[in-house]
Amino acid sequence: MLSSLWSSAIFYLVAACLSIQGTVLSLRAQDIPLNVVERSLKNGMKVLMVERHDSPTVSLYLRFRVGGVDDPKGRTGIAHLLEHMMFKGSKTYGTTNYASETPVMEKIDQVYAQLEAERQKANSPVSQPDPARIKDLEDQMKALQEEQKQFVVNDELWQTYQRLGGVGLNASTGDDSTQYFVQLPSNQLDVWAYLEADRLANPVFREFYPERDVVHEERRMRTDTQPEGLLWEKFMATAFEASPYQNPVIGWPSDLENMRREEVLEYFKTFYAPNNAIAAIVGDIDPDKTFAIMEKYFGPIPSQPQPRRYISQEPPQKSERRIALFFDAQPQLMIGYHIPQIGHKDTYALDVLGQVLGGVSRGSRTGRLYKSLVLDKKVALEVDCGANTALYPNLFIISATPAENASPADVERAIYEEILRLEKEPPTDEELARVRNSVDASLIRGLRSNSGVARVIASAEHVAGTWRYIFSERDELKAVSAQDVQRVAKQYFGEDNRTVGEIRTSKQSASEQSEENR
Amino acid sequence: MNFSNQNRATIASIAIGSFALLAAGVNFLHAQQGELRGGASSRGDRHSQGWDTAMRLKGQPLPPKFPKIGVDVDRMVLENGIVLYLQEDHRLPLLDAIIFIRTGSYYESAAELGLADLAGDLLRSGGTKNYPPDQLEERLDFIAASLSASIDSERGTVSLNVPIKDADEGLRILADVVRFPLFDESQLELAKQQTIYSLRASNESPGPITRREFSRLLFTESHPAGRTPTIERIRQISQQDMQKFHQKFFQPSQIMIGITGDFNKAEMLQKIRDLFGDWAKTDVQLPALPKANPQPKPGVYYINKKLNQSSLRLGHWGANRDNPDRFAIDLMNDILGGSDFSARLTERVRNDEGLAYSVGTAFPTSQRDTSLFLAAAQTRTETTVKAIQSIIDEIKKMSASKISKNEFETAREMFLYSYVFRFAEPSRALTSLMGLEYEKLPADFLEKEFKGYESVKPEDIDRVAAKYLKPQELTILVVGDFPNFSKDIAALGEPKEIQPLQFNDAPSSGPGAR
């Protein structure tokens, strides 16, 4: 019966351990056979290879050092829309005739520019859009898209991967990174390198405008219609006033509506350079031969100097921030505290603090918050917390579901009592031993599958600068003392560093209805 | 609840797995002749220059491997009837144990609704004779073990993963959970509260409402798949009910244990004997599993909910694993809507029309009883009817015309080339073989299944599409902002409003459809 609640928690923890954020896990280093062969192409592309011959399969993972944080103002969602467009083919893929298709695509861009100009008159104090002209331009768009369709081979790249026997095929965009991944029978490695190098060298963003609509549907599905999704978006937008983490990766609705093909292409050219990519290849491979294949296909792609990144630093909060989302749903509570970025020495103690308060694993019932809020005081049905350690300073987040007869205020008070208790009652030896055991076991579990290894080493290589971080992090976590935990709790869990968000049960407001009826 | 999954977005939702795969009665005689056959499709037959290069580089499909008892896995039966599967795997210092119990929510009567599900929760959280709830949690977390328990429609499962150095204690806990659960009163109260919360939450976002109400429409409340407990019912469930439930189903003759990991088989057998060998054998009479009554219910139904996106679900009665056409049906479903981006529905509704992020079909064919063919999508309010029309149109086209050469090759190769992943993890071999025995399927089931897929011809797919897709029988359910698509929807038929189940303390209302 709890499936909907649990499944979202599962998703989170998997993602967290894969991306080396939050909890990460391990065993004594010498017990773990992980022989990573680390090489670089001349163009700067990093290649990490692990030879494991247990089955004739290979896990392939390509990670780019670009994500939602790099979206420019007014163009949030561009990194993610780009990820979608990377499946649309290239000059020689997904098309039967690129030369004939190109002028049609250019005409689509021109007509779209006119359409956009006409629509934007709605925002002007002095002019009005002409519905007849909009209709005419929309019809022109449709006719041109139909014309282009005669050259398009539908999702040919995806189909190719399926015919190679690919499983787990997908891509995802996060705040800090974008990744493309698939598992293949190991005799298909050449084809993978050919396909990926081709879309990196010559992508064509055909069918752009329908895909933009698809992404908007994705936004409605993940955020607009989901109480938890919407609370998350509002909460992050409140907790951060300068950092790019204030923006949703999926993009704000009006930014999606404004996005143009040329702009996404420009963004691609800036960030999708081989020197901005990490490839992790894990499974039934020979590293030397594999590297030769990488040289052959990716080697010719020129490196590009990377632009300066303009990441606004979050200033000290110096205030409490609160937000209540009115939604026809049961109450929920989130509390966030700003914490430093990955690599900062305090992140380890914060991670251990998260495990002492929130439990050592998914569904753990030994965390102090669970025991106090759920078992003793019975003010919550569920509680979870953890340090969201990322490329730039992010948040330590505590979330809870109030019990039937408790209010979010009761839950909030109970959380602060537990935080205060840490000052008088440092983590016990048993609590710390439990965390250390869990840290060891979780590292081993993370290395069970080829795809797990590929993800963790690529992620660590990106956010921590070396894949070896999976081991050094484990050692650092195990060295955290009770005093370290007390110190970071005191330092970061201040009222003036805090954002509180809740869902307040309500039927829809009049303003929301009028907006939806537009 | 956890929110941190919210800052990621993906190219594909791979949503089809989330369709409830519901079982129901054997009925393939019922199938009708399709419409007149149209011409052949040439969809996807033209390819790019790059495709030719990729196909030249492409390797051969790797030969399939079928796990065998006595080769990949050892099987033995203890004196009391417990079936044991063992498999050594020394790659990592871990142990995995999985226990199947022959039980499930489909064995319970309407009056017992909710008991099996809650009993699954309580097995995990309710403590045992030797480990009261708090101590159970302390020990599990201290040895970094993960334990889970659940009771699904036709199977109960308890599983354990533990670092090998503490495997003995992990196995002791596991045995205690299965043999001597406490169903602690205060843990039961908490689980009931959590269940009630989930029931209420299921009306707060469109996905769960759509799935639940669609099943209720087709299965009706005469079948467990169509039933949802009321809050009042959940509150009634007692510790004594749990104990009776445990007594009824948890007997050695109903138990299968599988263990894989870094151990020695002979030593492990002895440990299992020590933990389970003294469990006395008892005869168990299980009630018969329910059979679906596949009555078509064509029509357009809606639930009014103020949202900016409609949730669509269309479907009719489908097939089960006794159907000799099951392999062709499965491949047909891949072509129609079951293969993500290679499918017709994705091409039309997503790529061409930009109407949905997630669109697809499921035509389950591997389960015991007849289940539903389903199509599902989400689309903005204004395009609700357009999306439904496109989906119906593709179902009709599929049933009335031949597939293309490329469609056939893609569906076939997807299966053949990816088969190597099926048992890539040794533990998959163990659980597959256990699953066959649990489902009382023959030992050569996997080989026959593989050959079944391998021998499907294009004309088989054309034939099953005509026979098993029944556009005229589609039940169509929309959850969304009805006033803003009410005019358009008349084009599909007279819409009937459904009152979704409400989860207040008062007993829930009667039949949903008006």
Whether the CB-CB separation of B478 and B193 falls below 8 Å is answered with no
Residues A335 and A275 in one domain: no
Residue A202 structure tokens:
């010559």
Q: Angle between the A189-201 and B49-57 helix axes, to the nearest 10 degrees?
A: 150
Phi and psi at residue B92, to the nearest 5°: -135, 150
> Between chains, do A222 and B9 touch, taking CB under 8 Å as contact?
yes
Size of interface A-B (CB pairs under 8 A): 341
Final residue before a domain boundary, out of A251, A270, A298: A298
> Which residue of chain B is at minimal alpha-carbon distance from A198?
B50
Give the whole-angstrom CA distance, residue A266 versus residue B410: 34
Same domain, A274 and A410: no
Which chain B residues have a beta carbon less than 8 Å from that of A177?
A: none
The residue in chain B having the minimum alpha-carbon distance to the alpha carbon of residue A431 is B142
Cβ–Cβ gap B48/A96 under 8 Å: yes
Asked whether residue A20 is assigned to any structural domain, the reply reads no
Q: Give A334's contacts in chain B (Cβ within 8 Å).
A: 3
Chain A: closest CA distance from residue B124 (Å): 11
Asked if residue A260 and residue A389 are part of one domain, the reply reads no
Cβ neighbours of A366 in B, within 8 Å = 137-138, 141
Interface residue of A214, A256, A398 to substitute, partner B, most B CBs within 10 Å: A214
Burial of B324 per CB tally in 10 Å (0-12, 13-18, 19+)? exposed
If you count them, how many residues does chain B have?
Answer: 514
Is A8 part of any domain?
A: no
Say yes or no: A346 and A420 in one domain: yes
For chain A, the residue count is: 518
Q: Residue B506: what pLDDT?
A: 52
- Closest-CA distance of chain B to residue A59, Å: 11
- Closest partner residue to B357 (CB to CB) among A217, A381, A386 is A217
Closest alpha carbon to A59 in A175, A188, A157, A173: A188
- In 3-state terms, what secondary structure has residue A26? coil
Instruction: Assess whether A265 and A329 both reside in one domain.
Output: no
Q: Which residue has the higher pLDDT, A404 or B512?
A: A404
B377–chain A nearest CA distance, Å: 10
For residues B393 and B399, give the distance between their C-alpha atoms in angstroms, rounded to a whole number: 10
Q: How many Å apart are CA A297 and CA A196, to the nearest integer?
A: 9
Residues A458 and A427 in one domain: yes
CB nearest to A366's CB, from B137, B311, B423: B137
> Chain A: nearest CA to B203, how far in angstroms?
8
**A154, B106, B109 from B290: Cα distances, Å:** 43, 7, 10
Supply A386's token pair: 């953890």
Q: A156 vs B208: CB contact, 8 Å cut-off?
A: no
Please answer yes or no on whether B163 and A444 come within 8 Å at the CB atom. Answer: yes
Pairwise CB contact (< 8 Å): A228 & B350: no
CA dist A462 → A65, A82, A468, B391 (Å): 7, 20, 11, 42
| B9-23, B185-199, B256-270: range with lowest mean pLDDT | B9-23
The dihedral through the CA atoms of B1, B6, B10, B12 has a sign that is positive
Average confidence score pLDDT of chain B = 92
Give Cα A364 distance to the centre of its chain: 24
**Integer Cα distance of B458 and A322 in angstroms:** 61
Contact list in B for residue A225 (CB cut-off 8 A) is: 205-206, 307-309, 311, 378
| Strands A332-338, A395-402: pairing kind | antiparallel
**CATH of B15-39+291-497 among 3.30.830.10, 3.90.10.10, 3.30.470.20, 3.40.1710.10:** 3.30.830.10
The CATH number given to whatever domain includes residue A206 is: 3.30.830.10
Strand order in the sheet with A277-283: A36-40, A46-51, A277-283, A57-64, A178-185, A167-173, B9-10
Q: Give B419→chain A minimum CA distance, Å.
A: 8
Query: φ, ψ for residue A185 (rounded to 5)?
Result: -60, 140
Quote the pLDDT of residue A33: 72
CA distance B79 to chain A (A): 35
B117/A185 Cβ within 8 A: no
Does residue B239 carry a pLDDT above 60?
yes
Per-residue pLDDT of B399-451, as tens digits, reads 999 999 999 999 999 999 999 999 999 999 999 999 999 999 999 999 999 99
Among residues B191, B145, B211, B242, the alpha carbon closest in space to that of A5 is found at B191
A251, A334: one domain: no
| Facing A160 at nearest CB: one of B2, B51, B204 | B51
Q: Do B50 and A92 touch (CB under 8 A)?
A: yes
pLDDT of B18 over the 70 cut: no
Which of chain B's residues have a Cβ under 8 Å away from the Cβ of A99? none
Question: Are B58 and A94 an interchain contact pair (Cβ–Cβ within 8 Å)?
Answer: no
pLDDT at site A509: 47
In chain B, which residues have their Cβ closer than 8 Å to the Cβ of A430?
142
Are A128 and A228 contained in the same domain? yes
Tell me whether residues B142 and A434 touch, CB distance under 8 A: yes
Structurally, at CATH architecture level, domain B74-276 sits in 2-Layer Sandwich (3.30)
What residues of B are in contact with residue A92 (Cβ under 8 Å)? 48-50, 53
Instruction: Determine which of B48, B202, B504 to mutate to test the interface with A (most A C-beta atoms within 10 Å).
Output: B48
CA-nearest of B252, B254, B179 to B438 is B254
Minimal Cα–Cα distance from B128 to chain A, Å?
16
b/e burial code for range A289-325 (CB count within 10 A of at least 16 → b):
ebbebbbebbeebeebeeeeeeeeebeebeeebebeb
Cβ distance of B357 and A89 shorter than 8 Å: no
Alpha-carbon distance A462 to nearest alpha carbon in chain B (angstroms): 17
Nearest residue in B to A14, CA atom? B5
CA angle B56, A58, A201 (to 5 degrees): 55
The domain locations on chain B are 15-39+291-497, 74-276
Identify whether A28 is part of a domain.
no
A24 lies in some domain = no
CA distance B84 to chain A (A): 24
Contacts of B94 in chain A (CB under 8 A): 444-445, 448
pLDDT tens-digit profile, chain A (518 residues): 223 322 222 222 223 233 333 233 333 433 567 999 999 999 999 999 999 999 999 999 999 999 999 999 999 999 999 999 999 999 999 999 999 999 999 999 999 999 999 999 998 889 999 999 999 999 999 999 999 999 999 999 999 999 999 999 999 999 999 999 999 999 999 999 999 999 999 999 999 999 999 999 999 999 999 999 999 999 999 999 999 999 999 999 999 999 999 999 999 999 999 999 999 999 999 999 999 999 999 999 999 999 999 999 999 999 999 999 999 999 999 999 999 999 999 999 999 999 999 999 988 999 999 999 999 999 999 999 999 999 999 999 999 999 999 999 999 999 999 999 999 999 999 999 999 999 999 999 999 999 999 999 999 999 999 999 999 999 999 999 999 999 999 999 999 999 999 999 986 544 444 444 33
Q: Which pLDDT tens digit goes with each residue over B245-263?
A: 999 999 999 999 999 999 9
The residue assigned the tokens 């026809």 is A328
pLDDT at position A289? 98
On the question of pLDDT at B26 being above 80, the answer is no
Residue-wise pLDDT for B499-511, tens only, equals 999 998 654 444 4
- With CA atoms as reference, the chain B residue closest to A157 would be B51
> Which positions in chain A touch B48 (Cβ < 8 Å)?
89, 92-96, 153, 156
pLDDT at A508: 52
Confidence (pLDDT) at B179: 98
Q: Is residue A79 located within the same domain as residue A189?
A: yes
What span, in angstroms and rounded, lies between the C-alpha atoms of A267 and A78? 8
Do B62 and A55 make contact, defined as CB atoms within 8 angstroms? no
Buried-exposed string B220-248: b where 16+ CB fall within 10 A, e elsewhere = beebbbbbbbbbebbbebebebbeebbee
Q: How far is B341 from chain A (nearest CA, A)?
A: 6
The token pair at B311 is: 């949730």
- A42 and A299 in contact (C-beta within 8 Å)? yes
| Residue A294, amino acid | M
Matching fold, domains B15-39+291-497 and B74-276:
yes
Q: Output the six-digit token pair for A510.
A: 């009049």
pLDDT value at position B117? 97
Cα separation of B160 and B411, whole Å?
A: 36
Amino acid B510: pLDDT: 41
The whole-number average pLDDT for the span B267-272 is: 98
Task: Verify that A373 and A423 share a domain, yes or no.
Answer: yes
What is the per-residue pLDDT for A27? 38
Categorise residue A98: left if φ over 0, alpha if ψ from -120 to 50, beta otherwise: alpha
Name residues whose C-beta falls within 8 Å of residue A30's C-beta, 6 or more positions apart in sequence: none
* A304 occurs within a structural domain: no
CB contact under 8 A, A384 and B2: yes
Asked if the structure places residue A112 within a domain, the reply is: yes
Question: What does A344-391 look like in DSSP terms, one character per residue?
Answer: -THHHHHHHHHHHHH-SSTT-S-SHHIIIIIIIS--EEEEEEEE---S
* Mutation for testing the A interface, residue in B11, B262, B355, B428 having most A CBs under 10 Å: B11
Judge contact between B156 and B120, C-beta under 8 A: yes
Q: Which residue in B has a C-alpha nearest to residue A382's C-alpha?
A: B1
Mutant choice from A162, A334, A451 vs B, greatest count of B C-beta within 10 A: A162
Domain count, chain A: 2
Chain A contact set for B355 (CB, 8 A): 213, 217
Closest chain B C-alpha to A457 CA, distance in angstroms: 18
Complex ipTM: 0.91
- Is A61:A177 a contact under the CB 8 Å cutoff? no
Same domain, A250 and A130: yes
User: Using CA atoms, how far apart are residues B498 and B492, in angstroms rounded to an integer?
Assistant: 17
How, if at all, do strands A498-505 and A380-387 pair? unpaired
Cβ-defined contact of A162 to B357 (cutoff 8 Å):
no
Residue A9 domain flag: no
Q: Look-up: residue for tokens 């659980």? A: B431
Best CA proximity match to B142, nearest among A27, A356, A360 = A360
CA distance B134 to B374: 44
Minimum Cα–Cα distance from A96: chain B residue:
B48
Whether residue B417 and residue A250 make contact (CB cut-off 8 A), yes or no, is no
Q: Which residues of A touch B358 (CB under 8 A)?
A: 217-218, 221
Q: Which domain holds residue A474?
A: 315-514
Contact assignment for A212 to B354 by CB distance below 8 Å: yes
Q: How far apart are CA A286 and CA A472, in angstroms?
A: 27
Higher pLDDT, residue A21 or B59: B59
User: At residue B199, what is the residue type?
Assistant: L
Cα separation, B51 vs B58, in Å, equals: 10
Both A140 and A196 in one domain: the answer is yes
pLDDT of residue A32: 67
The verdict on residue A10 lying in a domain is: no
Binned at pLDDT 50, 70 and 90, residue B514 comes out as very low
User: What mean pLDDT do residues B102-109 have?
Assistant: 97
